[in-house]
Structure formats: structure tokens, C-alpha cells
Structure 1
Amino acid sequence: MKWTELSDNWCPVARTLSVVGDRWTLLILRDCFLGLSRFEQFIESSGMTRHILAERLKRLVEAGILERRQYSAGPKRYDYVLTEKGQELAPALMTLKDWGKKHMPVRRATNA
């Protein structure tokens, strides 16, 4: 089943995952909550390809989760900022963060 096919599913979790259910999209949202808003910032923070980032940003804007705001006319450049709808994802992201800190702690190499 493709992600887009989940958008008509009876389950609200499945419908939500059709928009935000992949790792790259969640990392973009994480970055937005951390105050990042520009294309190059997202690239640097996440390491995703330009193509994937452009695709995910477009989908988030179309879903009304992010808003695109022009900050430069020549060349045209945009900020991507959370809408009110996007801000409402904060508790879900915080829950994922807290769960990860508890159950997926960073394992640092020891110098032996």
C-alpha cells in the first residue's frame, strides 16, 4: 500500500501518517520546531537530498502544515514556517522525543 492510499483510510492514525509518516518529514518538522525555516538549513541539519526535501516541503505546504513565505525576490527564496495546524503536531513530536530519550539512548564509544 502506498502512503497516499492511506489518506482515505478509516483510521485517523493512518490518515495522519499519509502526511507525516516518513522519517524525512518528521525531521523537517523537528527542525521547524527548533527554529529552522530555510531550505539550506534543512539540508544541513538532516542530510537529505535536495530532491527529497523539495518534495516533502511541497507536501507539507499542500497539507497546510507549513506555510511558504518569500524572504528574497532575487533570486526567489522562501522560509517554511509552521501554520497553526502544524504547531498542533508539537505534542506528538515531544512524545517521540521523550520516548527516544528513554528507550533509544545515545551509545557513545568508550575510549579504552
Structure 2
Amino acid sequence: MSEHENCHVDPVEKPVNEAALLTAKATFLGVSGMGCPTCAMRVRNGLLNLGGVLLAEVYLQNGVAAVAYDPEEVTPGNLVTAVADAGNDGRHHYEAHILQTMPAAKAFTFA
């Protein structure tokens, strides 16, 4: 059995609140420990399950997560903790560090 068998994760679906994104902050995180697309999904889900997170995208190839959030509910430190907590199953271990924080309106293009 390979290390990635029985490792399926369903994606968390969270509707995008476009009005909230206008005043949101965005933080880019460097993420280590992801070995497959399911790992990236697990990290994304962990971020989206955090109250106040509006949008999260994880780029496995680059080891980067881009997260938009309400700064009155979430801090960049909370995001780092959520990434670590996403690997709390005893088989996965993820770490994150803050790369950059800016207004979400500058970080993301909204349609």
C-alpha cells in the first residue's frame, strides 16, 4: 500500500462573500509537508474551516497558500496554527510561515 492510499479528503465548500472581501486582509503562507494534492486539499480545508476565513487557495507545486480573511476575526498566526492543525491525524505534518500580508483587494482579482 502506498503512503497516499486511503488518504481521500472531500473539499470544503464555502460560498464567497464578495462584499466582505473588499475589506478583508490577505496573507500568503509558505507551507511545507504537503506531498500530494490531497495534502493540499487537507490544508485548504483546515484554513476554510477557520471562522473568519473567506477564501483559501493552496498551490502544492509552489508550497504556498493564499488566504483572504476578516482581520477582526482572524490573525495571520491563526492561519499558521490552522495549517499545522490540518495535519493532526498522526500521518501528516504541515508547517506554515507568513510570507506577506496585504489588503485582499490588492492580492486577488475579483470578477
TM-score scaled to structure 1, two decimals?
A: 0.26
| Higher-Rg member (1/2) | 1
> Quick check: which one's strand share is greater?
2
> Quick check: which one's helix share is greater?
1
